[in-house]
Amino acid sequence: MSPDILDEAMEIWFGPQHVSAHGWATKLTLVGDYVVECDPNAGYFHRSAEKVLEFKNFRQGALVLERMCMLEAFLAEYPYVAAVEKIAEIEVPERAKIMRTIMMEMSRLHSIQFWWGQFNAELGFFTMALWPWVDREYSLDAFEELTGSRHTVSYSTPGGVKYDFTEKFMKQLHRAIDRFEDRLPKFRDMQMGSPTFRARTKDIGLYHYKQGLKWGLSGPPIKACGVPMDLRKDDPDPNLAYDMVDFEIPITENPEYPGSSDALDRMEQRFKEAEVAVDIIKQLLPQLPESGPIIDPKARAKANRLPEGEAYARVEGTRGVTSLWLKTLDKAQTAYRAKIRGPCIASYYALKDLVPGSKFADFIVIFGSLDPYPGWWDR
Amino acid sequence: MSVLLQFDFWQWIQGIPQWIEGILYWIWGIVKWIIYAIWDFILWLWATIFNADNFFFLFRAVLFPGLIWVVLALIWAVWGTRKLWGRIQDRRGPFHQGKYGGLQLFADAIKLIAKETIIPDKAKRWMFRFLPGLLLVVVLLPFAFIPWDTVSAVNGGWAIADLSVSLVLVFAFLTAVPVVALLAGWVSGSKYTLIGGFRAANNQFAAEIPMIISTIGCAFLASSLSVFDISMAQTNVWFAVLLPINLATFLIAAIASVGIFPFDAPVADSEIIFGWRTEYTGIYFTLTYFAEFAEQMLYSALIVALFLGGPNGLPFLPGPVNFTIKFIVVFFFFVLVSSSFQRLRQDQIVKYCWKYLLPLSILNVIIIMLAIVYMPGLMLPLLGVG
């Protein structure tokens, strides 16, 4: 890139007041209609969650975590709960494990439906944005019935879960799943068969999985390259019920560029993720014991004061590997230090290498296809 | 001899009433002149308006189917669009104000007008204030040439005006729209508006050539450049039957030219906030917003006039009713198309318009010319010539 080109360059701030930049700001350098430099900036969404965790006790901490990404609240709060359980050596009842897993997969389904609508809105197709959001309401109704809240659910707690499944909740859960399965083939056809959608996403944001692993990507952005990397299989959590179900890791192969993925593949990958999530829920529901404890009775006392120790817990989130490292001092009421590693920090800073050379109009497509959520990089 | 002043004080005193009387007469003269002028103006106005021809011209131009009717139709077109979009998108659309939300747009307009108008520091203030109004005027003027009725304007029909080159004039007005958009984007003094302005120019650049070539077939068949004559040439057969490909290309090019979905790159909200309209607030935003819908309506009306027989249709219905029915159907198509696709990139818009629309629109013209040459027995009676 010669300096002459940059003489005519225009610097433009994409965010923080931009309509599709909700809580992030990226500085783009444009030459003509092409982006030559992309400078992602973190810090516009900072709520000092890691510091807050040092002042919250071990039952309150999960509430901070789920506010990091409300779209996958059941998944986001889990690493903290798991870390506390590891340090305090709390056993989780069988029933709570299954209930946790079901709700985490529901959370994944609902998060993907939201992303799906948002991606279409970013592509300028608001009809296809609202249809998945209507289906998403069914999941939210179920969440509300279960926990009393649509987004900030605070369901998992050290030792188990807080609320038991009710009759009405089960009805709503089935309704949400049935609705999704009913509409999925039509939606998939409409989405993947749309010529304008293919024109906008084919070969856009193309990267090889080796490059993706170098950036630190995980979850759907790397699975879309055809790499079966999934914590649900690779490292099943003993306090979750993923070992009780039989499922394949969803991957997408790009026929033209093996080992690479573009925005179209990542869309296809999200469909498969949602299908697998529903599959797991349907396998787990018959295995759920009719009755039994949903929480270890001693867990509350154990979680009040933790012994000295440190633990690392992680979970396969909707957007990638979500992990947390927790260190406690002896007889601690609060964490000494908590370090959150969200999945999206990698995919956000991947834009730095991925975007230059593409058109300005494609920036939001690349960004949307990686699905970064600002809460995960501004901790 | 000394100079004797010939000044008789008493005589001077006696002159004062005469002097005052003179002044009063002078003032009365002025007042009389003003009163006569006003009276003459009233007489002129009376003669102008209530002279039968003039009255009907003004009635057509101002009330129906002129300004007021178009603006009211515009308001309910926005309402209809929002309602249809709501239905298509699995929601209800506006329903609070009035029956079925029919007064929603009036409420919106009042709210927008009452809002604070913010003009950025970097904007060129005069142009920034002037351009939205100019845009609406430019878009509303071509409605004068829409043939609402089977009887021409000269013979007292419901059309407002007729001109031998009205088709060219309509396109001349429509070409000015992206120029205004580009200027508005320029004078707003923001990078996003500048990009949006250039994208608007790019859209017109892509869509205009196929659009104008699509109308050449109609002008050929009617052997006239007047929109009224073209619609009147379709008494036997609509040009949509003879020029079906041109109807499709014109519709697509019109959508691209207006800049609504899927060709809404000039105002792509997820990419460039709101394109060249980003900095407009309050009443200025209202004007630009209405101008977009007025342009959609204008293109719908043009499609009806050029391809769907204009006011010709069911014989037992009056011309304007026939026209309006077809107009609503075409407008519905606009809404349907604009809610069914993802947005295209600017270079893709140019590619689609030039690579596919342009050859297709020329192809149809060539086919119909060959048909006239080699099958005159079939074609000429259809056109009412043979």
* Contact between chains at A361 and B342 (C-beta distance less than 8 A): no
A55 inside 8 A of chain B by CB: no
Chain A CB within 8 Å of residue B345 CB: yes
User: Sign (positive/negative) of CA torsion B230, B236, B240, B244?
Assistant: negative
In chain B, which residues have their Cβ closer than 8 Å to the Cβ of A191?
none
Nearest CA in chain A to B261: A124
Q: Where are the domains of chain B?
A: 17-50, 69-383
Smallest CA–CA distance from B271 into chain A, residue:
A361
Q: Which residues are paired to A309 by β-bridges?
A: A328
| Residue B139 identity | V
Name chain B contacts of A21, Cβ cutoff 8 Å: none
Q: Which strands form A10-14's sheet, in the order they lie side by side?
A: A10-14, A25-31, A34-41
User: Which residue in B89, B261, B264 is closest to A130 by CB distance?
Assistant: B89
**Set of chain A residues whose Cβ sits within 8 Å of the Cβ of B195:** 360
- pLDDT for B4: 63
How far is B49 from B52, CA to CA, in rounded Å?
Answer: 8
pLDDT digit string, tens, across residues A334-374? 889 889 988 888 888 999 999 988 988 889 899 989 888 88
Q: How many CB atoms lie within 10 A of CB B53?
A: 10
Chain B contact for A32 (CB, 8 A cutoff):
no
Nearest CB to A124; choose among B89, B91, B270: B270
- The identity of residue A47, as a single letter, is R
Of B91, B268, B348, nearest to A124 by CB-CB distance is: B268
Q: Which residues of A touch B348 (CB under 8 A)?
A: 199-200
B265 at interface of A, judged by CB pairs closer than 8 A = yes
Q: How far is CA B277 from CA A139, B10, B140, B159, B224, in A?
A: 37, 79, 19, 33, 38
The β-bridge partners of A11 are A29
Contact residues on chain A for B88, CB-CB shorter than 8 A: 127
CB A294 within 8 A of CB A99: yes
* Whole-number Å distance between alpha carbons of A189 and A203: 20
Q: Tokens 């810090």, residue?
A: A43
pLDDT tens-digit readout, A10-46: 888 887 888 888 778 899 998 888 898 899 988 888 8
Q: Alpha-carbon distance A341 to A117, whole Å?
A: 26
DSSP A234-265: HS--TTS-GGGS--PPP----SSSTTEE-HHH
DSSP string, A168-211: HHHHHHHHHHHHHHHHHHHHHHHHHT-HHHHHHHTTSS-EEHHH
Domain ranges for chain A: 47-344
Mean of pLDDT over chain A: 88
Pairwise CB contact (< 8 Å): B262 & A194: no
Q: Is A225 helix (H, G, I), strand (E, B) or coil?
A: coil
B191/A10 Cβ within 8 A: yes
Does residue A229 contact residue A223 with C-beta atoms inside 8 Å? Answer: yes
Best mutation target among B193, B255, B270, B273 (most A Cβ atoms within 10 Å) is B270
A126 at interface of B, judged by CB pairs closer than 8 A: yes
Residue B350 near chain A (CB below 8 Å): no
> What span, in angstroms and rounded, lies between the C-alpha atoms of B289 and B81?
13
Q: CB-based contact (8 Å) between A361 and chain B?
A: yes
CB count in 10 Å sphere of residue B360: 17
What pLDDT digit, counting tens, does each position of A263-288 carry? 999 999 999 999 999 999 999 999 88
According to CATH, the superfamily of the domain at A47-344 is Cytochrome-c3 Hydrogenase, chain B (1.10.645.10)
Which of B85, B264, B348 shows the shortest C-beta gap to A124? B264
Answer whether B344 touches A (CB < 8 Å). Answer: yes
Torsion angle, alpha carbons of B282, B285, B290, B295, to 10:
170
By C-alpha distance, the chain A residue nearest B263 is: A124
User: Cβ neighbours of residue A65 under 8 Å, at least 6 residues apart?
Assistant: A49, A53, A76, A77, A79, A80, A324, A340
Sole residue written with tokens 């006569």: B36
* pLDDT higher than 80, residue A177: yes
Of B91, B273, B341, which has the smallest distance from its Cβ to A130's Cβ?
A: B91
Tokens of A342: 């969200």
Query: Which residue in chain A has the smallest CA separation from B91?
Result: A130
* Interchain proximity B90–A33, CB inside 8 Å: no
Q: Are B351 and B207 in contact (CB under 8 A)?
A: no
Q: Which residues in chain B have Cβ-Cβ distances shorter than 8 Å to A121?
A: 270
Give the mutation candidate from A18, A31, A34, A187 for the B interface (greatest B CB count, under 10 A).
Answer: A18
The 10s digit of each residue's pLDDT in A300-335 is: 888 888 888 899 999 988 888 999 999 988 888 888
**Bond from prior residue into B266 cis (ω within 30 degrees of 0):** no
The reported pLDDT for the residue numbered A279 is 92
Q: Which residues contact A376 (CB under 8 A, 6 or more apart)?
A: A68, A69, A319, A322, A342, A343, A344, A345
**Helix or strand or coil: residue A163?**
coil
Q: A19–B89: do the CB atoms touch at under 8 Å?
A: no
Partner B contacted by A127 (CB < 8 A): yes
Tokens of A323: 């992990």
- Tell whether B262 lies on the interface with A, counting CB pairs under 8 A: yes
User: Shortest CB distance from A361 goes to which of B90, B265, B269?
Assistant: B265
CB spacing of A200 vs B261 below 8 angstroms: no
Q: Which of A17, A134, A200 is the best residue to mutate to test the B interface, defined by the most B CB atoms within 10 Å of its own CB?
A: A200
- CA B92 – CA B110 distance, rounded (Å): 22
The answer to whether B192 contacts A124, with C-beta atoms less than 8 Å apart, is no
pLDDT in tens for each of the 386 residues of chain B? 566 667 788 888 988 999 999 999 999 999 999 999 999 999 988 887 777 777 777 777 787 777 888 888 888 888 888 898 888 888 888 888 888 888 888 888 888 889 888 888 888 889 999 999 999 889 988 888 888 887 776 676 777 777 888 899 999 998 888 889 899 999 998 888 999 999 999 998 889 889 999 898 888 888 888 888 888 888 888 888 888 899 999 998 999 888 887 888 888 888 888 888 888 888 888 888 888 888 989 999 999 988 988 888 787 888 788 888 898 899 888 888 888 888 888 888 999 889 999 999 999 889 888 888 888 777 777 777 65
Please give the ipTM for the structure prediction. 0.80
> Which residue of A128, A199, A364 is in closest CB contact with B270?
A364
* Nearest chain B residue to A196, by CA: B342
Owner of token pair 């039952």:
A59
pLDDT above 70: residue A3:
no
- A141-161 pLDDT per residue, tens: 999 999 888 888 888 888 888
Q: What is the DSSP letter of A306?
A: B
Chain B residues lying within 8 Å of A126, measured CB to CB? 85, 89, 339
Question: Is the Cβ pair B341, A194 closer than 8 Å?
Answer: yes
Closest chain A residue to the Cα of B341, Cα to Cα: A125
| Distance from C-alpha of A281 to C-alpha of A285, rounded to nearest angstrom | 6
Percentages (nearest 5) of helix, strand, coil residues in chain A: 50, 15, 35
CA distance B196 to chain A (A): 11
Which has the closest alpha carbon to A364: A17, A26, A11, A9?
A26
- Partners of B91 on chain A (C-beta within 8 Å) are 130, 134
For residue B265, what is the nearest residue in chain A, using CA coordinates? Answer: A361
The reply to whether B340 touches chain A by the CB within 8 Å rule is: yes
Contact B89 A126 (CB under 8 A): yes
